[in-house]
Chain A
Amino acid sequence: MKDEINAFITLIDHPSPGIPIAIKDNICTKGIRTTAGSKVLADFIPSYSATLVERLENAGFSIIGKTNLDAFAHGSSTENSDFGVTLNPYDHQRLPGGSSGGSAAAVGAGLVDFAIGTETAGSIRQPAAWCGVVGFKPTYGYVSRYGVIAMASSMDCPGVIANNINNVIKVFEVISGHDSKDATSLSLPPFRFKQDRLIDGLKIGIPKSYLKITAPEVLEKFNQVGDIFRKLGHEVIEIEMLDPAIAIAVYTILQSSEVSSNLARFDGIRYGQDRRYFNPENQRRILLGTYALSADSYEQYYIKALKVRTLIINDFNKHFKNIDVILAPTTPTTALPLGSSLDDPLFGEYADQLVEPSTLAGLPGITVPCSLIDGLPVGFQIIGPRLSENLILNLALQYESIKN
């Protein structure tokens, strides 16, 4: 296989027979180098596989490679990868998004039909939208985190990137379900999809505050999506939700705090190289988290953010009493040019601002490609209440069938 877009950090020379799948390189694969996109782990070969990898292999999937990501999943561009940026398959001068940029670009370029990504706040849906593919982030805890190199444990969630919704479902059915090795795993059997072709009459809410920060050209395409759902017999209404800027602040504090704790284990003794090998973005997040957790700032920042997280969850719960799902653009813009993230320490937070609130609440969401603007893909997302996977996948399928 020719990887002209640097989607892979490692390609397997002779993959075992099976259904080809790519795995994000922050997911442990026994005997296959797992770098997390960082020089800290440049030579790390795990002695065990993540639960989701074991399940995929047992179901007949074959790993063909490990995909590129921002080092330790810190970023939304793959420009923070220590193995070079991945190029957007639609335009090689553009970013693929991140942190699962390698997985999204590999699917977008047609190198593979399915890939596994992880999302802490947008890292599946944002790159999937920028690369013109489907990205699915399940309810937190539905897929085991065992063997996933931790970033922010209270939000980390593996999910699926694929070239269509049926392929997302196939993979999700395999990787989902309880795992006793993950203390935060939900006590649920593996997901089984029940198709409802006649689904109609749903009440769909569009948050006004999300539209205010969306570029006009993206908004125009998104409005066409709303019209399609109306024609399908659903009621589409605008709703008032909390300003995503609040979620950005909460996410930044909580994520960096958990990062500083999780990355303390990389001391050069047990794993890989020493801490001088962390790149500038990793360093910023570790220091910021250390600051937020220090005695002087703990109440002011960390505890405050945890409380506002409760308000964000309450906001979703309140709306889900009156509506079935939320519909929104996935990203405020289409893919940005290479280099866009390099001078802005808040690049990721703004690129992911339409997905961060739902991730903080642990909700499931799916992004579906809907259009092109100047040759670049645009995606919209459907967010549902906890464990509403069957509903949002059915709705996404309904849209996909109309578009096709």
Chain B
Amino acid sequence: MIIDLDKLSHLANLPINNPTEIIDDLNKITVQFNVLDKIDTDQIESTFQVNGLKNITRPDKVQSTSPIHQGFFVTSSLKNQNER
């Protein structure tokens, strides 16, 4: 298993001081996940909540954003709107 620690560190917003140790530990932990590979879960539903609650989610959908100028979203000026 290849773990890209720089990518994880970025995604988790977490600075890492001891990358070698962390990678070793993560590899030791993820090895135990192999026990799940042998289990057939084809017709099995996921359990997010044990007390019957259902997650209400919507599919991810790409939408257009406001235009970006020099790294900032461009919006109409609140000050000008108030002055109008």
Flag whether B29 is at the interface (Cβ < 8 A). Answer: yes
Smallest CB–CB gap between B57 and chain A, Å?
A: 13
Known interface pairs A140-B50, A306-B46. Does A345 touch B28 (Cβ–Cβ under 8 Å)?
A: yes
Q: Which residues of A contact B33 (CB under 8 A)?
A: 249, 252-253, 301
Of the stretches B4-12, B63-71, B76-84, the one at the interface is B4-12
A-contacting residues, B6-40, CB 8 Å: 7-9, 11-16, 18, 21-22, 25-26, 28-30, 32-33, 35-36, 39
Flag whether B75 is at the interface (Cβ < 8 A). Answer: no
* Binary flags per residue of B39-60, CB closer than 8 Å to A gives 1, else 0: 1010011111111010000000
Smallest CB–CB gap between A139 and chain B, Å?
A: 8
Contact status A362-B44, CB under 8 Å: no
Flag whether A308 is at the interface (Cβ < 8 A). Answer: yes
Contact status A283-B16, CB under 8 Å: yes
Flag whether B62 is at the interface (Cβ < 8 A). Answer: no
- Which of under 10, 10 to 19, 20 to 34, or 35 or more describes the interface residues of A? 35 or more
Contact status A184-B45, CB under 8 Å: no
Q: Which residues of A contact B46 (CB under 8 A)?
A: 303, 306-307, 309-310
Across the interface, B8 reaches (CB within 8 A) one of A141, A287, A307, namely A287
Contact status B49-A154, CB under 8 Å: yes
Contact status B14-A308, CB under 8 Å: no
Contact status B15-A284, CB under 8 Å: no
* Binary flags per residue of A57-97, CB closer than 8 Å to B gives 1, else 0: 00000000000000000000000000000000000000000
Flag whether A313 is at the interface (Cβ < 8 A). Answer: yes
Flag whether A172 is at the interface (Cβ < 8 A). Answer: no
Contact status B49-A275, CB under 8 Å: no
Q: Which residues of B contact A275 (CB under 8 A)?
A: 13-15
Contact status B11-A346, CB under 8 Å: no
Q: Which residues of B contact A287 (CB under 8 A)?
A: 5, 8-9, 12, 14, 16, 22, 26
Smallest CB–CB gap between B48 and chain A, Å?
A: 6
Smallest CB–CB gap between B54 and chain A, Å?
A: 12
- Which of under 10, 10 to 19, 20 to 34, or 35 or more describes the interface residues of B? 20 to 34
Q: Which residues of A contact B3 (CB under 8 A)?
A: 291
Q: Which residues of B contact A360 (CB under 8 A)?
A: 50
Contact status A310-B14, CB under 8 Å: no
Q: Which residues of B contact A309 (CB under 8 A)?
A: 46-47
Q: How far, in whole Å, are A308 and B16 apart by their CA atoms in the complex?
A: 32
Flag whether A318 is at the interface (Cβ < 8 A). Answer: no
Flag whether A273 is at the interface (Cβ < 8 A). Answer: no
Q: Which residues of A contact B51 (CB under 8 A)?
A: 140-141, 184, 186, 362
* Binary flags per residue of A269-280, CB closer than 8 Å to B gives 1, else 0: 000000110101
Contact status A345-B29, CB under 8 Å: yes
Known interface pairs A287-B9, A306-B48, A310-B45. Does A252 touch B29 (Cβ–Cβ under 8 Å)?
A: yes
Flag whether A42 is at the interface (Cβ < 8 A). Answer: no
Q: Which residues of B contact A286 (CB under 8 A)?
A: 12, 14
Contact status B9-A307, CB under 8 Å: no
Contact status A284-B26, CB under 8 Å: yes
Across the interface, A250 reaches (CB within 8 A) one of B36, B45, B49, namely B36
Q: Which residues of A contact B18 (CB under 8 A)?
A: 280
Q: How far, in whole Å, are A311 and B50 apart by their CA atoms in the complex?
A: 12
Q: How far, in whole Å, are A83 and B8 apart by their CA atoms in the complex?
A: 28
Contact status B11-A252, CB under 8 Å: no
Q: How far, in whole Å, are A183 and B44 apart by their CA atoms in the complex?
A: 26
Contact status B44-A310, CB under 8 Å: yes
Flag whether A198 is at the interface (Cβ < 8 A). Answer: no
Q: How far, in whole Å, are A362 and B53 apart by their CA atoms in the complex?
A: 13
Identify the 8 closest CB pairs spanning chains A and B, nearest first: A362-B50, A306-B46, A307-B41, A345-B25, A290-B12, A307-B44, A310-B47, A309-B47
Which B residues fall within an 8 A CB radius of A?
Answer: 3, 5, 7-9, 11-16, 18, 21-22, 25-26, 28-30, 32-33, 35-36, 39, 41, 44-51, 53
Q: List 20 A-B contacts (CB under 8 A).
A: A140-B51, A154-B50, A183-B53, A246-B35, A246-B36, A246-B39, A252-B32, A267-B13, A280-B18, A287-B5, A287-B12, A287-B14, A291-B3, A304-B36, A306-B46, A307-B41, A308-B44, A345-B29, A346-B29, A349-B32
